[in-house]
Chain A
Amino acid sequence: DAKTTQPTSMDCAEGRAANLPCNHSTISGNEYVYWYRQIHSQGPQYIIHGLKNNETNEMASLIITEDRKSSTLILPHATLRDTAVYYCIVRPYSGAGSYQLTFGKGTKLSVIP
């Protein structure tokens, strides 16, 4: 029973911002939103996470809607090395399930030269 919904694939021109949406309409109050990416058969790589406030780090920005039912990952200046499958994951901060990341069907982002 998927807790997140993401587009199957997206294209982005190199140098432009990549905006990856995620729907998590059934998110609970104790669940964080995490983003990971996987570049062709490598180990998944952490990008960013948040609870309800927008977050920014050196890799990306995470925008979470006020009702927390959706979020958008923003890669500000996409490069060819950002081509990967991006996973949006919700994870409780305590109790059962807090020690696992459940990967659903992510978004295959292709950055085009």
Chain B
Amino acid sequence: AAGVIQSPRHLIKEKRETATLKCYPIPRHDTVYWYQQGPGQDPQFLISFYEKMQSDKGSIPDRFSAQQFSDYHSELNMSSLELGDSALYFCASSPHRGPDTEAFFGQGTRLTVV
């Protein structure tokens, strides 16, 4: 079965650079979620989209922005990168049957800022 695809799987950037993470949801899933997981921490919700519109917003820094495109894939843009942005970034998708449904997570993008 198709899963959530995230690219790249690994990314190394220098401080103050920008990074773009991509997420391709499971076919026919119209809801996308982004999470950040720092070393030894629990996943923290950043932002979600339903039908290309932002639906919920969590602890996403102002330096980050995200959007969902017409084909439902999503991109997380991160600017002015800081050392503290080094983390695993997970994307998840779900079909819109309301919250009585499950979210499927990708394998994540490991971002290292040096």
Q: Is B64 an interface residue (CB 8 A)?
A: no
Chain B interface residue number, banded: 20 to 34
Selected contact of A99 from candidates B4, B44, B50, B106, CB within 8 Å: B50
Say whether B99 contacts A103, CB under 8 Å: no
| CB pairs A–B below 8 angstroms (15 shown) | A41-B108, A43-B105, A43-B106, A44-B43, A46-B102, A49-B100, A51-B100, A99-B48, A99-B50, A99-B56, A101-B103, A102-B58, A103-B35, A103-B42, A103-B45
Chain A interface size range: 20 to 34
Interface centre among A51, A98, A100, A103 (most CB of B within 10 A): A100
Kindly state whether residue B18 has any CB partner on chain A within 8 Å.
no
A97 at the interface (CB under 8 A from B): yes
Bound-state Cα–Cα, A87 to B7, Å: 26
Contacts of A34 in B (CB 8 A): 102
A9-17, A19-27, A64-72, A88-96 - interface stretch: A88-96
Q: Once the chains are docked, how many angstroms separate the CA of A83 from the CA of B90?
A: 20
Q: Does B80 contact A (CB under 8 A)?
A: no
Smallest CB–CB gap between A102 and chain B, Å?
A: 6
List B residues 23-38 near A (Cβ within 8 Å).
31, 33, 35
Q: A46 to B104, Cβ gap below 8 A?
A: yes
Known interface pairs A32-B100, A44-B90; A101-B42 also in contact (CB < 8 Å):
no
3 tightest A-B contacts by CB?
A: A43-B105, A99-B55, A46-B102
Interface status of A45 (Cβ within 8 A of chain B): yes
Give complex CA distance A66, B108 in Å. 37
